[in-house]
Structure 1
Amino acid sequence: MRNTRARRPQPAIREEKAGNTARGQVAQRKKPQGAAAGEWVSNKAALGGATARRKPVVKPGAKPMDGEVTTPPVARKAPVTRAKKLAVRAGSQKEVAKQKQLREKRLTAEQVGEERLQKALAFSGWGSRREVETWIAEGKVTVNGKVAELGCKVKPGDDVRVSGKRVQMRWADRLPRVLLYHKQEGELVTRDDPQGRVTVFERLPKLASSKWIAIGRLDFNTSGLLVFTTSGDLANRMTHPRFEIEREYAVRVLGELTDEQIAQLKRGIELDDGPAKFERIDASGGEGVNHWYNVVLKEGRNREVRRMFEHFELTVSRLMRVRFGMFGLPPRLKRGQFYELNETETMAVMKWADLKLNGEAKE
């Protein structure tokens, strides 16, 4: 069969071959000195630019060559599974209507009032308060055309700019959110861990316009109730020592306290960082060498419960927080699950803490 495909003109073919030959000669002349035969060289290096050599591929288990510097492989952190939400039955129509009303309620600009500049910018998602304070000190923040100073306040309607860029301000004009999480052992109460361990903030649901604040902390090997909120004033109300909010723990100990030791723990003992005491301590049974106790105290110093038992040379083999103030660990809340308070429950918390609807402290 005759080939009917169109053929390129012979002059075009000759021109293409000549161009390829010329480019190869230019690359050979521009090849950087010291490049070994057969070694790959980038186009940029071939044209006289900086030499960019491809890094040799080292197979696992292979020994490096003499003089070769190898970089240890970086372990990639596995993706963290988000915590599951505890499923609850919806309330009556009246309760659902009340929750919707509270969810849609907004404070007016007059009710919101003035707010410290660093707090307002942090709430609007422009970094932490410390970062904002640094920008203010450097003169990068202006309010209504004037350079802001530390301590100044802003209100809805003010023109706030950072490095000349106008900020779309957000204001705490609605109910905050409150969440109960059943922490598992092996999780850290921090936003970032250099060692790549799992943090509780990675397990929580993401927020669009604010961030979760942990009310108190739990040790790496301690499980139980953690309370999170978007209200900084509520977190301060529950954690500041002057409010003396109770914390209740279930403690499993290797050994048993004597009646005299229990009396001493109630009266108070001296630790390295000061006196400490239990407001209440009750024996809860146990098997063999393991004994359970329920203890209540009004502060939350680092490893305080464990250190109080270690004072009598008793080792805590398990520690779980079951209550924090008015919040108890729900019986149906499994480890790694969370429950978010509905609007009527959140409003009850605001009244208990003597805060405004938006979670701010009353003036």
Structure 2
Amino acid sequence: MSSAKARPFRPPRSPRQSPRGRSAAKRDDDPGRKGTGAAFPPAAPVTHKLHKLLAQAGLGSRREMEALIAGGGVTLNGKVATIGDRAGPGDLIRAGRRTVRPAHGGRVPRVMLYHKPEGEIVSRSDPEGRASVFDRLPQLRSSRWIAIGRLDYNTSGLLVFTTDGELANRLMHPRFEVEREYAVRIMGRLAPETVSRLTTGIALEDGPARFEELLDQGGEGSNHWYRVMLKEGRNREVRRMFEAVGVTVSRLMRVRFGPIDLPPRLRRGQWMELDETQTRRLLDLVA
């Protein structure tokens, strides 16, 4: 990467291994604390548009949530909601089978980093019964973990999860061109003309693709490592690009997603949650 770019966000905390191979660091789900007994009456709760709250809960985009509300698919405190309704702490929102309770004002979303090993899927259900990354994460009460991007079954590395649909969209949508960086192992070295093809553009079945950067990282014996960076996340894109030039990837690991690096002490199968300061910094970086 060019030295002119902003330094990637590196969470400083290291995870603690739990008996089940998960990080023991957790954040309290209590939405707030009791009052301090001040003489002044409490401020009125902050409310937000209903479609915004549903999008933040990860149910879909704001436009999709507006359509859901307009179709009568959402209730607010037991009544069918309408476009323009607002909700805040204490309100009960139901969208289909999902129940959403707005958090107290000022509360930041939760963000989780997970070091995915090979042999897990990024899906909540699988007809083949394979292990899922969601089985590793702590359970949530009134929201759900949203995977920011995916990794295929045989790819390891950084996965980012959040409870905020808008943050997920900001990091995943192609128009924002968020960088993804991978470590790639192949047999042998790439010829200069192959490097040129991969960085200038090759044709895939779903459109042209190219690496923004492709750096030689060396290797031992017949194994050779490269670092590649691209600004989109199509299905198996890195593997398909190498296959298009006649090269098979023997190992693939994502080491960075946007401003977030894979923490060096985060072992495979471990997760760690960003604290409030780190989460606010991330929100500022992607704003």
Counterparts in 2 of 1:207 and 1:301: CA distance versus 1, 3 Å = same
1:177 corresponding residue in structure 2: 110
Tell me, yes or no, if structure 1 residue 116 matches structure 2 residue 54: no
1:238 corresponding residue in structure 2: 171
Post-superposition shift, 1:170?
2.7
Q: Which SS does the other structure have where 1:218 is aligned? A: coil
Post-superposition shift, 1:153?
3.2
1:156 corresponding residue in structure 2: 88
Aligned counterparts of 1:333 and 1:293: Cα–Cα separation in 2:
21
Q: Which runs of 5+ in 2 are unaligned?
A: 1-18, 34-42
Match runs of 1:103-142 below 5 Å:
111-116=46-51, 119=54, 123=57, 137=71
Q: Which SS does the other structure have where 2:272 is aligned? A: strand
8 Å Cα contact 1:144-1:159 kept in structure 2:
yes
1:84 corresponding residue in structure 2: 22
Counterparts in 2 of 1:170 and 1:290: CA distance versus 1, 3 Å = same
Amino acid across the alignment from 1:205 = P
Post-superposition shift, 1:313?
0.9
Match runs of 1:1-363 below 5 Å:
82-85=20-23, 111-116=46-51, 119=54, 123=57, 137=71, 147-149=80-82, 151-156=83-88, 169-171=101-103, 173=105, 174-354=107-287
Q: Normalised by the size of structure 1, how large is the TM-score? A: 0.60
8 Å Cα contact 1:251-1:295 kept in structure 2:
yes
Q: Which SS does the other structure have where 1:309 is aligned? A: helix
Post-superposition shift, 1:351?
1.2
Post-superposition shift, 1:209?
2.3
8 Å Cα contact 1:214-1:227 kept in structure 2:
yes
Aligned counterparts of 1:250 and 1:172: Cα–Cα separation in 2:
40
Q: Who wins on radius of gyration, i.e. which is larger? A: 1
Post-superposition shift, 1:135?
9.0
Residues 76-96 of structure 1 show CA distances to partners (whole Å, capped at 9, x for unaligned) of: xxxxx8542177xxxxxxxxx
Higher helix residue share: 1
8 Å Cα contact 2:146-2:164 kept in structure 1:
yes
Aligned counterparts of 1:276 and 1:282: Cα–Cα separation in 2:
17
Q: Which SS does the other structure have where 1:257 is aligned? A: coil
Q: Normalised by the size of structure 2, how large is the TM-score? A: 0.75
Aligned counterparts of 1:196 and 1:131: Cα–Cα separation in 2:
31
Aligned counterparts of 1:168 and 1:243: Cα–Cα separation in 2:
28
Aligned counterparts of 2:65 and 2:285: Cα–Cα separation in 1:
33
Aligned counterparts of 1:236 and 1:345: Cα–Cα separation in 2:
19
Post-superposition shift, 1:160?
6.3
Post-superposition shift, 1:246?
0.5
Post-superposition shift, 1:247?
0.5
Aligned counterparts of 1:157 and 1:176: Cα–Cα separation in 2:
15
Aligned counterparts of 1:145 and 1:205: Cα–Cα separation in 2:
29
Amino acid across the alignment from 1:199 = S
Aligned counterparts of 1:279 and 1:219: Cα–Cα separation in 2:
21
Aligned counterparts of 2:203 and 2:195: Cα–Cα separation in 1:
14
Alignment length (residue pairs): 250
Q: Which SS does the other structure have where 1:85 is aligned? A: coil
Q: Which runs of 5+ in 1 are unaligned?
A: 1-80, 88-98, 355-363
Q: Which SS does the other structure have where 2:219 is aligned? A: strand
Amino acid across the alignment from 2:279 = T
